[in-house]
């Protein structure tokens, strides 16, 4: 959860509208395209960074040799070792231009909403170990796991106070996609694996329809305290601080964004906000 908090702080600093504090607010109210352009440029920069990777390490497709998955709570308990992890499709999202809407309220705050659609997300990994779901379903084995998500939709609505900088409202909505999955080696029995895979796929697709509202409610409940922590991180920042952080030149939203410069400035800010946490990675990406 702390990692999600840090990532959201970075994302805000990376895409925040670059506007001068002395700019005429009447002009802003009649020209919200300034904000929209910054959001669009931020989205395109994010896609570029994902595609090109960081310091030669590709993020799409993303490969990782090994990861121990140890989770223990009432919903899920796992003792798994994942290996040869492959995740791709992360840069294949499309921003819905019709969903982007920015409104400036009296010059003191802005509200915005936009939607993203991921064409397909693919996850593949080898696994070895055990998994328990809802204190009822026990799974174990050694084999391969593949998951394909099609047309995952993400909608964001938020309201930000400009002076001082503060997120006053935030809501995320996920449109769950159709799902395809394949698992081998469950209970060390391939015949059982095929049967369970079919049942699992049907269950996931049913849950995507039946539990979508409940899942979105849960996600936003978990995000609420994170937003409060983010606001504490932003409390000492002026709008000009954010301008310098994101653009370095006070861009007004109509000039091309230097994606790598924006990324490193955002990463530097994260390193300052959370001393010691990112030291190793910060040196690595420099």
The string of pLDDT tens digits covering residues 78-123 is 899 999 999 999 888 888 765 666 666 555 677 777 788 888 999 9
How many angstroms separate the CA atoms of 213 and 171, rounded?
13
The pTM for the full model equals 0.65
- Cβ–Cβ < 8 Å for 197, 185: no
pLDDT tens, position by position, 201-245: 887 777 777 777 877 888 888 888 888 887 887 777 776 666 555
The structure tokens listed for 38 are 């910054």
Identify the CA nearest to 121 among candidates 185, 181, 208: 181
pLDDT tens, position by position, 142-181: 999 999 988 888 888 888 777 777 888 888 888 877 888 8
String of DSSP letters for 28-78: HHH-THHHHHHHHHHHHHHHHHHHH-BTTB-SSSEEEEEEEEEEESSSEEE
Question: Counting beta carbons within 10 angstroms of the beta carbon of residue 88, is it exposed (0 to 12), middle (13 to 18) or buried (19 or more)?
Answer: middle
How many CB atoms are closer than 10 A to CB 173?
17
- Cβ–Cβ < 8 Å for 174, 216: yes
Q: Domains of the chain: which residue ranges?
A: 1-283
The structure tokens listed for 192 are 């059982």
Identify the CA nearest to 173 among candidates 160, 156, 149, 159: 156
- Element holding 239 (H helix, E strand): helix 239-246
> Residue 79: CA atoms inside 13 Å, Cβ hemisphere, count?
4
Per-residue confidence (pLDDT) for residue 86, from 0 to 100: 95
How many angstroms separate the CA atoms of 125 and 115, rounded?
29
pLDDT higher than 70, residue 6: no
Per-residue confidence (pLDDT) for residue 21, from 0 to 100: 41
- Report the b/e string of 187-207 with b at 16+ CB within 10 A: eeeeeebeebbeebbeebbee
Identify the CA nearest to 162 among candidates 239, 258, 249: 239
pLDDT higher than 50, residue 37: yes
- Cβ–Cβ < 8 Å for 98, 88: no
Identify the CA nearest to 15 among candidates 269, 285, 257: 257
How many angstroms separate the CA atoms of 246 and 61, rounded?
27
Per-residue confidence (pLDDT) for residue 176, from 0 to 100: 75
Per-residue confidence (pLDDT) for residue 142, from 0 to 100: 96
> Residue 124: CA atoms inside 13 Å, Cβ hemisphere, count?
9
Helix/strand number for the chain, H first, E second? 8, 7
In 3-state terms, what secondary structure has residue 128? strand
Per-residue confidence (pLDDT) for residue 208, from 0 to 100: 72
Place 253 in a pLDDT band, splitting at 50, 70 and 90.
Answer: very low
25 vs 196 pLDDT, higher one: 196
Mean pLDDT across the chain: 74
DSSP 8-state class, residue 209: H
């Amino acid at each position: 959860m702390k990692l999600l908090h840090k990532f959201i702080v970075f994302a805000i600093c990376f895409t925040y509208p670059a506007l001068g504090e002395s700019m005429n607010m009447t002009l802003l109210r009649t020209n919200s395209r300034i904000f929209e352009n910054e959001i669009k440029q931020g989205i395109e920069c994010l896609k570029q960074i994902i595609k090109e990777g960081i310091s030669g390490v590709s993020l799409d497709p993303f490969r990782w040799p090994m990861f121990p998955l140890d989770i223990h709570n009432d919903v899920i308990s796992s003792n798994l070792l994942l290996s040869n992890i492959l995740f791709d499709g992360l840069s294949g999202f499309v921003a819905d231009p019709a969903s982007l809407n920015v409104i400036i309220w009296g010059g003191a705050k802005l509200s915005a909403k936009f939607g993203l659609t991921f064409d397909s997300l693919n996850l593949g990994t080898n696994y070895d170990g055990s998994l328990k779901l809802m204190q009822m379903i026990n799974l174990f084995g050694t084999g391969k796991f593949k998951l394909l998500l099609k047309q995952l939709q993400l909608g964001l609505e938020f309201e930000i106070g400009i002076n001082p900088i503060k997120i006053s409202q935030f809501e995320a909505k996920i449109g769950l996609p159709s799902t395809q999955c394949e698992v081998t080696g469950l209970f060390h029995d391939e015949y059982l694996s095929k049967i369970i895979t079919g049942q699992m796929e049907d269950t996931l697709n049913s849950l995507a329809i039946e539990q979508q509202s409940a899942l979105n409610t849960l996600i936003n409940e978990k995000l609420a305290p994170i937003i409060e922590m983010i606001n504490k991180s932003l409390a000492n920042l002026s709008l000009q601080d954010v301008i310098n952080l994101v653009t370095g030149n006070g861009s007004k939203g109509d000039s091309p964004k230097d994606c790598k410069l924006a990324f490193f400035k955002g990463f530097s800010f994260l390193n300052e906000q959370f001393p010691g946490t990112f030291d190793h990675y910060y040196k690595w990406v420099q």
